[in-house]
Amino acid sequence: MSKFLCCGNIMSDLVEDGNGVMSEPHIGGPAFYALTGVRLWSADCRLVSQVGADYSRLYGKWMEDNGLSNESVHIAAENCSQHILKYDKADGTFSWRSRYGSENLGYLKTHPEHIEEAITDDTAGFYLAQNTDKVFWEKIAGIKERHNVKMMWELEPPQQEDGLQRVKDVIGIADMWSLNLTEASALFDIPREREEDIINLIMKMPVEMTLFRVGVRGAYCVTPTRAVFCPSIDISASIDPTGCGNCSTGAAMCAHLLGHSPEEVAAMANIAAGYNAAQYGPYPKFTNEVMNSAEALLRKQTAGQPAD
Partner 1 sequence: MDYVIAGNVMVDSVRFQDGTTSDRKNMGGPSAFAYSGVRVWTDSAKLVCNVGADFHLYFDKWVEKNRVDMSGIKVKCDYCNHSYLVYYENGTYGQDDRAEHFRSDWQQDLGYMKTTPEEIGEHTQNKHVKGVYLAQNVDHVFWTKLNAVKNRDKFRMMWEIEAPSAYKRYMDAVLYAMESVDVFSINLQEAQNLFEAETEEECIREIQKLPVDCTLFRVGKKGAYSVTPTEKIFIPSITFDSETDPTGCGNTSTGAALYAYCEGYDALHIGVMANVASALNVRQFGIIPDFASVREMALHKTEEVCSRLSNR
Binding site for partner 1 (CB under 8 A): 52-53, 75-78, 101-109, 111, 131, 133-136, 159-160
Nearer to partner 1, 101 or 206 (CB): 101
SS3 18: coil
Q: Nearer Cβ to partner 1, position 60 or 101?
A: 101
Kindly state the smallest distance separating residue 84's Cβ from partner 1, in Å.
17
Query: 225, 264 in Cβ contact below 8 A?
Result: no
Of residues 66 and 110, the one with the C-beta less far from partner 1: 110
Closest distance between partner 1 and the C-beta of residue 118, in Å? 16
Strand partners, 117: none
Give, in order, the Cα–Cα distances in Å from 138 to each of 112, 134, 146, 166.
9, 6, 13, 13
Nearest approach in angstroms of CB 51 to partner 1 is: 10
Residue 183 vs 195, nearer CB to partner 1: 183
> Minimum Å distance from CB 135 to partner 1?
5
Per-residue burial over 89-121, b = 16 or more CB atoms within 10 Å of its CB, e = otherwise: eeeeeeeeeebbeeebbeebbbebebbbebbee
Q: Which DSSP state fits 22? A: B
Query: Minimum distance from CB of 299 to partner 1 (Å)?
Result: 42
Residue 102 or 305: the one with the smaller Cβ distance to partner 1 is 102
Q: Crossing angle for the helix pair 163-171 and 181-188, nearest 10 degrees? A: 110
